[in-house]
Amino acid sequence: MDLKEFFHGLKKTTPFMLGLIPFGLAYGIMATQAKLSLGETLLMSLLVFAGSAQFMAVGMIKEGVGIGFIVLSTLLINLRHLLMGLSLAPFLNKLNTKWLYLLAFGLTDEVYGTTIGHYQQEGSYKGNPYFMLGSEAGIYFFWLISSLAGALLGTLIKDPLSWGLDFAMPATFLSIVIGQIKSWQILIVFLIAGILAIAGYLLIPGKWYIILATVTATILGTILELLTEKRSTAP
């Protein structure tokens, strides 16, 4: 085990770990208020490990939405992981299947932003998996601890959004996304997703604006990525 790279990944992700605390607290509080037990709240964080999807899920559970629609919605909102996986693939394509399964489970927006930046800075297409594993371990631990704390505080804080905890998610995402805008393709996806999300929020009832922006950005990003690769390999 490459402990040096593991702790390097852990250290590089520290700012995101601290920023994750209010996000996890808000999730735990909202899950408790949606009548999830302490065990169910923690089990979702242990097995799902996807903040935005968990927020959406507990909101739908509270509203009495059916399990099938919840699963479909969380699947759609996590389609962005396809793009993240595609961009990381060149750095990790020499790893065996067990490594890929492990790293895929722990892949989050924070981990992706830290890892892809590190691999690109290294200038080598042989990414050290222990760096990414260290990044994932830190995020996973802080997510579980903050989820637990939020669940325990759930009966004491009636409205977590009044504390400004709902700002943690967009603030975290913005800090990740802005640092990744390094090409015109990414800028186009960023702008179109933002415009669609705002327009959908204003015009469409419910949480459909999230799914609309996510699916559109994922499809558009994939198309632009494939076109760019095709042009670069063309004779």
pLDDT band at 12 (very low <50, low <70, confident <90, very high): very high
Whether pLDDT at 218 is above 70: yes
188 and 220 Cβ atoms separated by less than 8 Å: yes
pLDDT in tens, 197-216: 899 889 887 767 877 887 88
Contact 218, 83 (CB under 8 A): yes
User: Which residue's entry shows tokens 């939020």?
Assistant: 150
DSSP annotation of 164 = T
In the numeric block, the tokens 């640092």 are attached to 179
Each residue's pLDDT tens digit, 42-86: 999 999 998 888 988 898 888 888 888 888 888 877 877 887 888
User: Does residue 125 have a pLDDT over 80?
Assistant: no
* Contact status, residue 33 vs residue 62, Cβ threshold 8 Å: yes
State in Å, rounded, how far the first CA of the chain is from the last one: 42
- With 80 as the cut, is the pLDDT of residue 194 above it? yes
102-118, pLDDT tens digit by residue?
A: 999 999 988 998 998 88
Domain ranges of the chain: 3-165, 181-234
Split at pLDDT 50, 70, 90, the class of 37 is very high
Mind giving me the DSSP string for 59-113? HHHHTT--HHHHHHHHHHHTTHHHHHHHHHHHHHTTS-HHHHHHHHHT--HHHHH
8 A C-beta contact, residue 52 and residue 77: yes
* pLDDT at res. 161: 64
- The pLDDT tens digits of the residues spanning 142-185 come to 999 999 999 998 777 776 666 666 666 677 677 767 777 778 88
- The two three-digit tokens of residue 198, written as one number: 């705002």
